[in-house]
C-alpha cells in the first residue's frame, strides 16, 4: 500500500552556515514517482535523506501516511522505506540472495518466506534466481548490480522507495534499460517513489511530477513533465529544459502508445546458416532477426553472411520512450527492437513512426 509523504517547512542547518535546505514544503502523492532535479549541491539529496532520517531535520515536519516520522524509531522507520543508491551499495561479502534478504531478515521473517521473497524479487527485476542467487556482487555487471539494489530495496514491500541517482554510474544504454525496468515495476507495484537526479531528461521520462530545485532546495517549479516542458516557470527552469523542447516531448510518448511492425524473417539461434539463407531468399529480404530459445532477440544476420551474427546493442521495451527508440534506431542503423516484460521479442519501431510523432508534436506547439 503506497503512502502520501508531506514535508512542511523543513530546514536543515549545519552549524552557523546558511541552511543546506531552507523552509522546504511539498506533498508527494501516494503511488506516484516524484523526481527532485537540480544542480549538484542544491540540497536535493539532503532533502530526500531527511525523509528516512538518515539526516535529521533541524526544524519542520515530515509525515508518511499521516504519521510524523520524528515520533518513530529511526531504525524501524528505515526498515519500512526502500532505499536505492548509485552503484547499488551491495554488501560485497554477501551473495545476491543474502543482499536481497537483508531487510526481511531484520524484520524477523522466517527462512521459507525470505527464500520465496528472494526468488520473487529477482524474477521481478529480470534476473533468473537459479543463475544469480548465489553469485557475489563482483561477479555482476553494473546494470545487474543496480537491479539487485532495486530488488533489495523492494524486498520487504515498503510503501515508500527513495532512489538517489540510482542509475548514474552505468553506461547510457544500460541506464535506459534500468529506467524502463523501473517504469515496468512501478506499473505493477504503484509505490510512492522519491527519485533524485541531476539529469532533466531522466526526470521527464520517469516522473509523474517533477520538482525543479534551486539553491537550498528552493522549489522553482513543481508540476507534471508536460507542464514543465510546455511552460517553464522561469529562466532557470527554461535552462534545464534547454533547446529542442519539441524533441524532448518524445520523452512523454511511450513505445506502447505507437503501432509496432514485425520483422519479416525471424530465425532461431539453433538454425543453420544454410536454413537462414534459404528463408531470406524465399522471402526476398536481406536481414533476419535471431531469437534465442526463450524468444529473446540477440542479433541480426544478413543473407550474404548468415553465419555472422551482428549483436543487437540497444533495444527498447514497451515502457521506453520514443526518444529511447530514436536513440536505438540511430545506434543500430535500423529499426529499434522492442521487448516485453521478460525480455521476449514483441516487435519493431520504425524511423517513420518516430518522425510522424515528431511532426505531430511540432504541430501541437
Give me the chain's average pLDDT, please.
90
Q: What is the model's pLDDT at position 214?
A: 93
**pLDDT tens digit sequence for 203-217:** 999 999 999 999 999
Are the CB atoms for 237 and 212 separated by under 8 Å?
yes
Is 1 or 45 the better-scoring residue by pLDDT?
45
Does the pLDDT value for residue 361 go beyond 80?
Answer: no
Q: What is the C-alpha separation between 167 and 172, in angstroms, rounded?
A: 9
**365 pLDDT above the threshold of 70:** no
Chain segment 101-125, per-residue pLDDT in tens: 998 998 899 999 999 999 988 988 8
Please spell the DSSP secondary structure of 280-302, one letter per residue: HHHHT-SEEEEE-TTS-EEEEEE
Under 8 Å between Cβ of 323 and 250: yes
* 17-43 pLDDT tens trace: 999 999 999 999 999 999 999 988 899
How far lies 195's CA from each of 1, 250, 257, 282, 321, in Å?
Answer: 18, 21, 25, 51, 18
Report how far residue 155's alpha carbon sits from residue 82's, in angstroms, rounded to the nearest whole number: 8
pLDDT at 169 over 80: no
Give the pLDDT band (50/70/90) at residue 229. confident
Q: Please check whether the domain covering 5-241 is classified as CATH 3.40.190.10.
A: no
- Check residue 246 and give its pLDDT: 63
CATH 3.40.50.300 domain span(s) along the chain: 5-241
Contacting residues for 65 by C-beta, under 8 A, at least 6 apart = 3, 4, 30, 159
pLDDT at 249: 79
Q: Which CATH class is domain 255-364?
A: alpha beta
Q: Is the pLDDT of residue 54 over 60?
A: yes
The Cα–Cα gap between 339 and 319 comes to 9
What residue spans in the chain does CATH classification 3.10.580.10 cover?
A: 255-364
Q: What is the pLDDT of residue 250?
A: 82
Amino acid at each position: 500500500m503506497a503512502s502520501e509523504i508531506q514535508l512542511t517547512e523543513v530546514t536543515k542547518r549545519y552549524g552557523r552556515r546558511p541552511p543546506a535546505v531552507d523552509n522546504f514544503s511539498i506533498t508527494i502523492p501516494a503511488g506516484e514517482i516524484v523526481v527532485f532535479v537540480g544542480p549538484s549541491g542544491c540540497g536535493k539529496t539532503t532533502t530526500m535523506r531527511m525523509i528516512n532520517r538518515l539526516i535529521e531535520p533541524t526544524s519542520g515536519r515530515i509525515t508518511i501516511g499521516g504519521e510524523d516520522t520524528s515520533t518513530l524509531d529511526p531504525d524501524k522507520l528505515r526498515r519500512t522505506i526502500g532505499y536505492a543508491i548509485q552503484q547499488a551499495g551491495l554488501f560485497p561479502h554477501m551473495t545476491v540472495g543474502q543482499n536481497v534478504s537483508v531487510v526481511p531478515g531484520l524484520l524477523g521473517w522466517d527462512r521459507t518466506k525470505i527464500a520465496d521473497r528472494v526468488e520473487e524479487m529477482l524474477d521481478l527485476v529480470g534476473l533468473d534466481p537459479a543463475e544469480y542467487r548465489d553469485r557475489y556482487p563482483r561477479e555482476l555487471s553494473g546494470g545487474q548490480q543496480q537491479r539487485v539494489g532495486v530488488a533489495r530495496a523492494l524486498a520487504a514491500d515498503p510503501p515508500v522507495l527513495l532512489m538517489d541517482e540510482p542509475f548514474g554510474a552505468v553506461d547510457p544504454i544500460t541506464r535506459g534499460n534500468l529506467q524502463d525496468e523501473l517504469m515496468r515495476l512501478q506499473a505493477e507495484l504503484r509505490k510512492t517513489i522519491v527519485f533524485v537526479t541531476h539529469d532533466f531528461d531522466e526526470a521527464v521520462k520517469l516522473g509523474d511530477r517533477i520538482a525543479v530545485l534551486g539553491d537550498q532546495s528552493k522549489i522553482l517549479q513543481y508540476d507534471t513533465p508536460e507542464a514543465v516542458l510546455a511552460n517553464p516557470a522561469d529562466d532557470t527552469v527554461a535552462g534545464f529544459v534547454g533547446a529542442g523542447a519539441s524533441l524532448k516531448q518524445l520523452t512523454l510518448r511511450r513505445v506502447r502508445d505507437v503501432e509496432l511492425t514485425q520483422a519479416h524473417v525471424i530465425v532461431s539461434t539453433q538454425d543453420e546458416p544454410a536454413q537462414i539463407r534459404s528463408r531470406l531468399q524465399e522471402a526476398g529480404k536481406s536481414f533476419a532477426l535471431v531469437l534465442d530459445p526463450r524468444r529473446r532477440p540477440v542479433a541480426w544476420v544478413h543473407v550474404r553472411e548468415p553465419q555472422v551474427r551482428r549483436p543487437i546493442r540497444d533495444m527498447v521495451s514497451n515502457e521506453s520512450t520514443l526518444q529511447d527508440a530514436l536513440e536505438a534506431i540511430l545506434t543500430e542503423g535500423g529499426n529499434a527492437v522492442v521487448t516485453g516484460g521478460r525480455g521476449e521479442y514483441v516487435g519493431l519501431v520504425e524511423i517513420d513512426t518516430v518522425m510522424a510523432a515528431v511532426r505531430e508534436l511540432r504541430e501541437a506547439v
